[in-house]
Amino acid sequence: AQSVTQLGSHVSVSEGALVLLRCNYSSSVPPYLFWYVQYPNQGLQLLLKYTTGATLVKGINGFEAEFKKSETSFHLTKPSAHMSDAAEYFCAVSGGYNKLIFGAGTRLAVHP
């Protein structure tokens, strides 16, 4: 069985500040981990994914995430927030490229 916990349903940062969105997972098999972004009334766009290999994964729009097995975490970071980063972010886990189990989501607000 797999599950995802995203800590903080809402995160607010200033433009230019560090973005940190937290994700912890549980999985009975080696996990594949994903971060998706969703803008209002739109589908999901893949930001980055971890499958195997390097634990620090770089994605689009300057985002990156680090897989820490000992902490069962896959936190998403971006050094400097931009106004266009305001959106809903979902962390997801799967056992291989199968059905994804999503976290509850974190709404990121970026203020001037």
Partner 1 sequence: GAVVSQHPSRVICKSGTSVKIECRSLDFQATTMFWYRQFPKQSLMLMATSNEGSKATYEQGVEKDKFLINHASLTLSTLTVTSAHPEDSSFYICSARAPTGSGNTIYFGEGSWLTVV
Nearest CB to partner 1, comparing residues 41 and 70:
41
Nearest CB to partner 1, comparing residues 37 and 81:
37
Written as six digits, the tokens of 81 are 């927030």
Indicate which single residue of 1, 52, 99, 112 sits in contact with partner 1 (rule: CB under 8 A): 99
- Count of chain residues binding partner 1 (CB under 8 A): 20
Q: Shortest distance, CB of residue 39 to partner 1, whole angstroms?
A: 11
DSSP-derived secondary structure for 42-74: --EEEEEEE-SS-SEEE-GGG-EEEEETTTTEE
Nearest CB to partner 1, comparing residues 12 and 98:
98
Q: Shortest distance, CB of residue 6 to partner 1, whole angstroms?
A: 9
Contacting residues for 29 by C-beta, under 8 A, at least 6 apart: 2, 95, 96
Q: Are 27 and 2 in contact (CB under 8 A)?
A: yes
Residue burial 42-60, b: 16+ Cβ < 10 Å; e: rest: eebeebbbbeeeeeebebe
Interaction pattern, residues 37-56, with partner 1; x per rule: CB under 8 A? ----xxxxxx--x-------
Indicate which single residue of 83, 98, 109, 111 sits in contact with partner 1 (rule: CB under 8 A): 98
